[in-house]
Amino acid sequence: MTLGSTTPATLALAGVSKTLGGVKLFTDVSLQLQSGQSLAVIGESGSGKSTLLHLMAGLDRADTGEVFWTGSAIHTLNNNQIAAKRLRHVGLVFQAYYLMPHLSAQQNIELPFLLAGEKPDTSRCLQLLDQVGMAHKAASFPREMSGGEQQRVAIARALALNPPLILADEPTGNLDEDNAERVLQVLLTACSAQSSALVMVTHSVKAASHLNHKLNLAEHHLTEQPPAQLNPVTKA
């Protein structure tokens, strides 16, 4: 399955399969995602969505198949090489935020610069904080923020080095409906502002409805066949 036509894709998977603990999760997953495109991966709990996202992030390895980041064959690299590349190519957002508790919002966003061996770009960090509606909490620590606020800071951190690919695993999973909507809009707006490709894993059909493309992970396959809720049948 191909989304879009130009090459090289920001993210490409070809024939990816994974078995965990003797259980086959998915097989022969192929897709291409271009700059500026957003993809929702929908599926029941336990269907393998997080595992698939980890493969896309180079945090785990496929049993078979290939993973490319803008043409780079990451499945051929060792873990250190992947980690170095990931810093520049991928911004990660998780359900549990994973902010550093002893750092302020601004310091959390500056962290990717330090990990990359760069002086933090303070004006970019402040601009990102503003973009996610958190400029007034630049000096606050995670314990002083709500879940939605922490997730908005985590999104700003993921965007700090302007990565071409954003991977988000259930980013609204811990949030109430209003905060979930706000976080989703922040993520989509931020991605479009820097033309990042976005993959968001979710079990929420509502959250998925905001993205350009939707694929369903079920019965070991990632298919374009939408779940029934996305395609309601109107009775005559």
Ligand X SMILES: Nc1ncnc2c1ncn2[C@@H]1O[C@H](COP(=O)(O)OP(=O)(O)O)[C@@H](O)[C@H]1O
Q: How far apart are CA 17 and CA 36, in angstroms?
A: 26
Cβ proximity to ligand X, 49 vs 89, nearer residue: 49
164 preceded by cis ω (within 30°)?
no
CB of 58 to ligand X, least distance (A): 16
Local structure of 21: helix, strand or coil:
coil
CB of 193 to Mg ion, least distance (A): 27
CB of 127 to ligand X, least distance (A): 33
Site string for Mg ion, 16-55 (x = CB under 5 A): ----------------------------------x-----
Structure tokens at 111: 């962290």
Local structure of 78: helix, strand or coil:
coil
Q: How far apart are CA 190 and CA 168, in angstroms?
A: 13
Please report the sign of the dihedral spanned by the C-alpha atoms of residue 46, residue 86, residue 194, residue 223: negative
Cβ proximity to ligand X, 21 vs 232, nearer residue: 21
Number of residues that this document lists for the chain: 236
Contacting residues toward ligand X, per CB under 6 A: 20-21, 25, 43, 45-51
- Give the residue from 203, 201, 223, 195 showing the smallest Cα distance to 6: 195
Q: How far apart are CA 154 and CA 98, in angstroms?
A: 8
Cβ proximity to ligand X, 42 vs 190, nearer residue: 42
When CB distances to ligand X are compared, the closest residue is 21
CB of 23 to ligand X, least distance (A): 6
Cβ proximity to ligand X, 88 vs 220, nearer residue: 220
Cβ proximity to ligand X, 37 vs 50, nearer residue: 50
161 binds, among ligand X, Mg ion, none (CB under 5 to 8 A by kind): none
Structure tokens at 183: 């976080």
214 binds, among ligand X, Mg ion, none (CB under 5 to 8 A by kind): none
Cβ proximity to Mg ion, 50 vs 104, nearer residue: 50
DSSP state of 32: E
The tokens 């291409």 sit on which residue? 32
CB of 206 to Mg ion, least distance (A): 17
Kindly list the residues in this chain that would bind Mg ion in the complex (CB under 5 A). 50
